[in-house]
Structure 1
Amino acid sequence: MPWIVNCLVGMHDWRLTLLAATVCVTGLATSITLIGMARRSSQRDRFSYGGLAGVLGGLTVWATHFLAMLGYRSGETLHYVASETLMSLAIVVVGMALGIALTLSNDSRLTRVLVAVLAVCSVAAMHFMGMAAIRIDGAVATWDTATVVTAVTLSILAAMCTAIWKRRDGWQRISTNTFLAVTSVCILHFGGMAGLTIVPDPTIRVPVSAITQTSLLIWVVGGATLVVAAAALVTMMSLWGRSSSLNQLREAIDTMPDGLGFYDADDRLVIWNARYAEVNTELAAALEVGAKFRDMLQIGLEQGLYAEAVGREQEWIEERLAARRRLSNTLEQQISGDRWLRVQDRRTAQGGIVTVVNDITDLKRDAQALAEARDTAETANRAKSEFLANMSHEIRTPLNGVIGLTQALARTELDHDQREILNLIQSSGVTLQTLLSDILDLARVESGRLEIADEPFDLARAINEAAHLYGAPAAEKGLQFFVDIDPAAEGWVRGDVVRLKQVLTNLVSNAVKFTAKGFVSLNAAVGRDRDGAAILRFTVEDTGVGFDAEAKARLFTRFEQADGTITRRFGGTGLGLAICRQLADMMGGHLDCESEAGGGSTFILTLPLIAAEAPVVQPIELASSADPHERRVRVLVADDHPTNRKVVELILGQAPVDLVSVEDGAQALAAARLQTFDLILMDMQMPVMDGLTAVREIRLHEATTGTQRTPVVMLTANALPDHIAAGQAAGADRHLAKPFDAAELIALVSELGGESCALAA
């Protein structure tokens, strides 16, 4: 390295050397900048920028070399052969252009190493081609091979260092690569010149066509001028592009629908858009470059904008600033005048803060309106539920009297006409009861208040109980009635037995109703769904009237039947199938059908199969009779409605039952404390003391006195699931909804009160 420094300092004019260095730095920095612009440009413009970078880089190195040669103090007059001088320019320009094209097509580290070697080789070729163009009167130039090889090797190593730089763009990359490239060029030039020796040779004469140093100076100055002009052009393009990008960015920020403000690391306002000023109307006058966020908060406090800060202003400011210093912060802030702002603060990598503000006053008002509408809807829903409960109670109470009294009357001696009239009354009562249940179920499904139970039950028993209710009506119409249960479907499963029986009885009832001759069948089997999961498949098939595809499309719609004349021929509301499909969906299954007009129908219900273990039945401990030889059952009935009490008396009057009737819960409690009963039938809604309170008091009395537990049945018109749950919570054992069937009541009394009742059932 000392020989390079000695050549640079001792053998060159420092002024021309400084000029050469200036040209080299300017030109190579511009060329590297053009390479970065090429990388960021489209495919069409990429090689245009690359080609310009190659030409400019080659011209820069060529001008640097010959400017330095003009400053070389040799003591001899140097001349240059024009053709060889121009050839050296062509060599370096082509080499630079090829290297840049290669790095633009593949920017891997290996490629950058190869490009660095190619660039140094082209510069070396240019250098020695330019030196070969030198002519001296009476002398010849020779080189020391070792010095030249060392200079070329060091130059290549310096150029290869550009390959380790990972960042593609930025001033750090440009400055570093420029330094390494200039170093490589300097090592090559001054190292090569250090190995130059001028040997006298009288036979050498300068050709007439050779140009002088003055002419060369004009050439080089022209090349240097092109380099400077290109650098100025690139700088102007870069500044214009940056200005254009900033203008576009500023325009984009100004057109944003959100208010945006940017604060520096000291929380001073740098830039903001028009929307930021519109949202912060009260602070618009204080928005200026350099305004501190704390000062703006203080101005807002002085104007009384923040109601939440009253009485704790400084503490509130510190809390707000602490939240703002987090990496990310979002808050909703109420402003005086019932305005709401959503403020989002995000910290930048340099410690600045970007604040985005939105006016959410309308959203808050809409949310408040929705909340009020929700509350109104919930109130209306509760009112509807209360209305449905009251309607159910008020209709079921007299309906219980109609059905119960007709059943009691049916057990007496009647002539043919009286029996026929009684059957019509009973049929009408059952129809009214079914209609009431359908309407209430539909209302509960729509309101989302209908819940599906999940408890174990005997599947075969449930199927038989649902089907056999319609065995007698089918026989009366002369229909064959089949119930076929696959052995795999027998056993205990989990689900809602009440809703399953409701769907099956509805399907079987419709099949019997719409079939005049032939058969009705109910089949239960185990199958698999598309995913391979076990399912239960219930099939109800009949040979009835059937329906076509158009009717099927609306069959499960509320208040629809397959044919409008069906309502007149067979009766019904069209609610049953709609409720059944909704119940099937709620139980995780599906209800569908297949039919053709006049060819019968097949309804298919599928439900998930969830196996369960048979529960261990805990027998109810009955109250012991005062006289162990007495076989009559003592029953206490509490009901405020005289008709309902009369119905119970008529139904149980034919059984070995001693019946005690009271009008309210208080009387029932007093009777239960005075004597022992085998069974208590308790209404729910009664004056003085309601049934639930009476049951709780009876259970408390039993626990306090240590007497045996008396079975209690809630015999009430309150039939909703909430009512059943309330009865169980109070301590009731069973729930029998009005209107009830006489056989149901006798069976219940027989089961809970004693076997004697079974004799009269």
Structure 2
Amino acid sequence: MDRILYCIAFQHDWRWTATAVVVGLFGMCTATHLIARAVGPQGRINRGRAALGVLLSGLAVFSAHFIAMQGYQVDGVRYDIGLTLASVAMVFVSIAAATMVGLTREGPVFRGLAAALCLSGVAAMHFLGVAGMQLPGQIIWDLPLAGLGVGGGAAIAILGTVFLPGRGRHGVIAAAAAAAAGVFILHFVSMAAMTIEPAPVSNGGWTVSSHVMSLVLALVSLGILATAGVAAWTGWRTRIGALAHIREAVDAMPDGMAFFDADDRLVLWNSRYAEVNPELSSNLQPGMTFREIIQIGLSEGLYADAKGREEAWVAERMATRAALASTMEQHIAGDRWLRVSDRRTAAGGIVTVCTDITELKHHARALAEARDAAEAANSAKSQFLANMSHEIRTPLNGVIGVAQALINTDLNPMQKEMLGLIQSSGQTLQVLLSDILDLARVESGRLELAEEPFDLGRAVREAARLYEASARDKGLQFFVEIDPAVDRWIAGDVVRLKQILTNLVSNAVKFTSEGFVCLTVAPGPDLEGRPTLRFSIEDTGIGFDADTRSRLFSRFEQADGAITRKFGGSGLGLAISRQLAEMMGGDLDCESEPGGGSAFMLTIPLRPAAAPSAPVHADASAAIIDRPVRVLMADDHPVNRKVVEMILAQAEVDLTSVEDGAQALEAMRAGDYDVILMDMQMPVMDGLTATREIRLHEAAMGQPRTPVVMLTANALAEHIAAAEAAGADRHLAKPFEAAELLELVLTLPGAAAASIAA
């Protein structure tokens, strides 16, 4: 170690040594920076930049070595041109090879290999350069010390390259420093291993003096400085150009953007940021804080949400901004809206993006108003339909009820025929009214399906039986086939299923003049691993083509106008049936051809259910009343009262009629009745209020519960639920069947008496 220090301190001029260190370190840093930047995106190598880095690195090593040699204090030194050039070539070749390995291979092993190649070339340059020096004596080498110099320099360079970070700024400087340290250790330790003994020196060959070499080294150093300057200037211009492009892109953004530093001070902003904040644009200055900006807005009354609570609003806004990322909608004076997004950068700065969403807010408001108007219109439509249902059912009840009462009188054949026309017309009006109400409830989402067990076979047979007589009268064969595998209890809405089946069977009978109509029920294909039911209604009727099929399930659609005129109908039945099928989780489809009949296929999920236990009935003898049934009827419409009177006149009934709920309540308190028939909509006191008052009176007086039947034109599901909640026992919608009314009046008193006795 003493020998090495002695060599550096006393055998070298410190000025040359310092110059060598500065030139070498500067050149190596510049060269390493260029080589590191030679690898672009996607791993593409910039060959020109890599070649410039190799050239600069070779010149730096060459200059550092020979500048240090110039400082070696020996008189009369000359340099052999051939060996000197050979040493220079050696270092360039080794650095080029090391650069190729380092740029084309990743990983610490290849970085270490590159450093070893580079230091090997530097060692060869060193010893070739020393061999090319003509000194006043003979060089004697201390081989162990020389080997230590080569090995130590190579170890420092290799370890620095392997363990130091990659191509970042600090990593590049550290790697360059490690390489320069390796070169300097190799040079000075090897120079310490050299001893010059006086001996005759033969001058020959092409040589240059140390003065010429100094001039060459000065030119090379200037070349290194010039190259480094050009590289720096090029990089600066590239960065300036890139920043200019970024600035153009930022200014072209459709949203306002501002950048704040880690102290939340405004650094830059684009023109759109000033446009969306016109009230602040004249006050925006670099260096102002975000708090100062919002204080300006508060002083100008920009923020509608901050009025009357400015300090709390500022605290909330700053707390929101302190998050890593936040987005908020800000209401600005003048009915303007901004969406403000804050994103924090890795260095602690904040990027604020402002988007003008005023137009979106206005559109959303218009849509909300349109939605509210549509909902109000839909509610008005539903209310209108409910009112129309009530108003239509009331006179229709009179038509059908009088016809049913009249049919039990003595009529001649012509009168019976006319009465039949009245009944069929009334039933047609009743079906049409039900279809319109169902359509309205489906559209409004107010139609709900029941989920209760029922006997599928019985439901199918009952639905088919309604049109069996019509088919026989037309001379059609009528079949109902139910697979034993599905003739069982299932869960679902039996009323809606029968509605679909009766509609399909009715159409099949209506549009078939000869042949047959067949209703088949069988297991369907599994749907998503679940079993299904397949109902098929086939006929040999008129059929229809593909164009008709595409619109057959639309509302108010039939094959053509001639069919409507010939067969009648509104075209609502199939549309409602398909919607009901979809609500059940199934599907309704059809196949047909003109003149070849039709086949409608209904597929619904099969949900097996257990048969309910048989109810315990009271003794039949308890249901027999050996006196006229006392009935109280409340209805404000005289026609309805007359219809009920005509129907109940067929049985032993003692009927009392009143015109509103208040009169019904007084009559019930004064008398004793077996059944109460209550209309829902009446003046003075409606039927629901009257029913509730009756139940309160019974409870207060300890009287038995009198059966109450809601006999009303309010037939919607919510009406039925309201009647049950008020205390009604049954709900009979107008128009009703005479037989059904008679059955209720004659059986309810006995059932009530039996339940009391039990």
TM class by shorter chain equals over 0.9
Distance 1:188 1:21 in 2: 13
Contact 1:528 1:534 in 2 (8 A): yes
- Counterpart residue number, 1:173: 171
- Counterpart residue number, 2:11: 11
Distance 2:467 2:192 in 1: 120
Aligned-CA RMSD value: 2.7
Distance 1:620 1:605 in 2: 37
- Structure 1 residues 470 and 56: CA distance shift in structure 2, 3 A: same
Contact 2:514 2:541 in 1 (8 A): yes
- Counterpart residue number, 1:103: 102
Shift of 1:235: 0.6
**In terms of mean alpha carbon deviation, does 538-547 or 523-532 score higher?**
523-532
Distance 1:520 1:255 in 2: 73
What TM-score do you get using the length of structure 2 for normalisation?
0.93
- Structure 1 residues 82 and 750: CA distance shift in structure 2, 3 A: farther
Residue identity opposite 1:704 in structure 2: A
Shift of 1:46: 2.4
What SS does the aligned partner of 1:358 have? strand
Residue identity opposite 2:525 in structure 1: R
Shift of 1:507: 0.5
- Counterpart residue number, 2:756: none
Shift of 1:730: 2.1
- Counterpart residue number, 1:197: 195
Shift of 1:504: 1.0
What SS does the aligned partner of 2:21 have? helix
Shift of 1:191: 1.9
- Counterpart residue number, 1:249: 246
Shift of 1:617: 7.0
Residues 724-748 of structure 1: CA distance to partner in whole angstroms, max 9, x if unpaired? 2222322333322222223333444
Aligned pairs for 1:348-387 (under 5 A) are: 348-387=345-384
- Structure 1 residues 412 and 220: CA distance shift in structure 2, 3 A: same
What SS does the aligned partner of 2:20 have? helix
1:708 partnered with 2:707: no
Residue identity opposite 1:233 in structure 2: V
Residues 615-649 of structure 1: CA distance to partner in whole angstroms, max 9, x if unpaired? 45777999999x97526544433222122222223
1:638 partnered with 2:637: no
Residues 138-192 of structure 1: CA distance to partner in whole angstroms, max 9, x if unpaired? x333432222222222223322334455754332112221221211111121122
Distance 2:421 2:165 in 1: 96
What SS does the aligned partner of 1:197 have? strand
| Residue 596 of structure 1, aligned match among 569, 593, 597 | 593
Aligned pairs for 1:461-610 (under 5 A) are: 461-610=458-607
- Structure 1 residues 719 and 62: CA distance shift in structure 2, 3 A: same
- Counterpart residue number, 2:714: 718
- Counterpart residue number, 1:136: 135
Contact 2:678 2:687 in 1 (8 A): yes
| Residue 698 of structure 1, aligned match among 694, 709, 714 | 694
What SS does the aligned partner of 2:490 have? strand
What SS does the aligned partner of 1:211 have? strand
1:421 partnered with 2:443: no
Residues 314-357 of structure 1: CA distance to partner in whole angstroms, max 9, x if unpaired? 34333332332222333333333333332222222333222222
| Residue 655 of structure 2, aligned match among 650, 656, 659 | 659
**In terms of mean alpha carbon deviation, does 463-472 or 522-531 score higher?**
522-531
- Counterpart residue number, 1:731: 727
1:688 partnered with 2:684: yes
- Counterpart residue number, 2:150: 152
Distance 1:709 1:375 in 2: 45
Moved over 6 A (4+): 617-625
- Structure 1 residues 752 and 463: CA distance shift in structure 2, 3 A: farther
Shift of 1:690: 1.0
Shift of 1:539: 1.0
- Structure 1 residues 572 and 209: CA distance shift in structure 2, 3 A: same
Between the two proteins, what is the percent identity of the paired residues?
A: 56
Distance 2:461 2:530 in 1: 25
Contact 2:161 2:175 in 1 (8 A): no
- Structure 1 residues 215 and 443: CA distance shift in structure 2, 3 A: same
Shift of 1:473: 1.2
What SS does the aligned partner of 2:607 have? coil
- Counterpart residue number, 1:611: 608
Shift of 1:205: 1.9
Residues 632-676 of structure 1: CA distance to partner in whole angstroms, max 9, x if unpaired? 544433222122222223333323444333322222333334445
Residue identity opposite 1:435 in structure 2: L
**In terms of mean alpha carbon deviation, does 558-567 or 21-30 score higher?**
558-567
| Residue 453 of structure 1, aligned match among 444, 450, 454 | 450
What TM-score do you get using the length of structure 1 for normalisation?
0.92
- Counterpart residue number, 2:22: 22
Residue identity opposite 1:400 in structure 2: N
Shift of 1:688: 1.4
- Mind listing any 5+ residue stretches in structure 2 that lack a counterpart? 753-758
- Structure 1 residues 20 and 624: CA distance shift in structure 2, 3 A: farther
Residue identity opposite 2:159 in structure 1: C
Shift of 1:430: 1.4
Contact 2:164 2:174 in 1 (8 A): no
1:48 partnered with 2:48: yes
Residues 235-294 of structure 1: CA distance to partner in whole angstroms, max 9, x if unpaired? 111111111121112112212121112222222211111111122222222211111222
- Counterpart residue number, 2:111: 112
- Structure 1 residues 114 and 677: CA distance shift in structure 2, 3 A: farther
- Mind listing any 5+ residue stretches in structure 1 that lack a counterpart? 757-761
- Counterpart residue number, 2:755: none
Residue identity opposite 1:174 in structure 2: V
Distance 1:652 1:546 in 2: 46
**In terms of mean alpha carbon deviation, does 666-675 or 499-508 score higher?**
666-675
Contact 1:623 1:710 in 2 (8 A): no
- Structure 1 residues 248 and 628: CA distance shift in structure 2, 3 A: same
**In terms of mean alpha carbon deviation, does 730-739 or 310-319 score higher?**
310-319
Shift of 1:61: 1.3
Distance 1:248 1:426 in 2: 86
**In terms of mean alpha carbon deviation, does 285-294 or 300-309 score higher?**
300-309
- Counterpart residue number, 2:286: 289
Distance 2:214 2:457 in 1: 113
Distance 1:237 1:624 in 2: 114
**In terms of mean alpha carbon deviation, does 142-151 or 472-481 score higher?**
142-151
- Counterpart residue number, 2:76: 77
Shift of 1:407: 1.8
- Structure 1 residues 164 and 653: CA distance shift in structure 2, 3 A: farther
Residues 73-96 of structure 1: CA distance to partner in whole angstroms, max 9, x if unpaired? 2x2433333222222222222222
| Residue 401 of structure 2, aligned match among 395, 399, 404 | 404
- Counterpart residue number, 1:33: 33
Contact 1:622 1:753 in 2 (8 A): no
- Structure 1 residues 44 and 348: CA distance shift in structure 2, 3 A: closer
Distance 1:702 1:146 in 2: 124
What SS does the aligned partner of 1:584 have? helix
Distance 2:75 2:591 in 1: 115
Residues 470-528 of structure 1: CA distance to partner in whole angstroms, max 9, x if unpaired? 11211211222222222332333333222222111111110111111222121222233
Contact 1:79 1:206 in 2 (8 A): no
- Structure 1 residues 636 and 487: CA distance shift in structure 2, 3 A: farther
Residues 417-453 of structure 1: CA distance to partner in whole angstroms, max 9, x if unpaired? 1111111111111111222222222233233333333
- Structure 1 residues 89 and 727: CA distance shift in structure 2, 3 A: farther
Shift of 1:679: 3.5
| Residue 183 of structure 2, aligned match among 185, 199, 204 | 185
- Counterpart residue number, 1:759: none
| Residue 275 of structure 1, aligned match among 252, 265, 272 | 272
- Counterpart residue number, 1:444: 441
Contact 1:623 1:676 in 2 (8 A): no
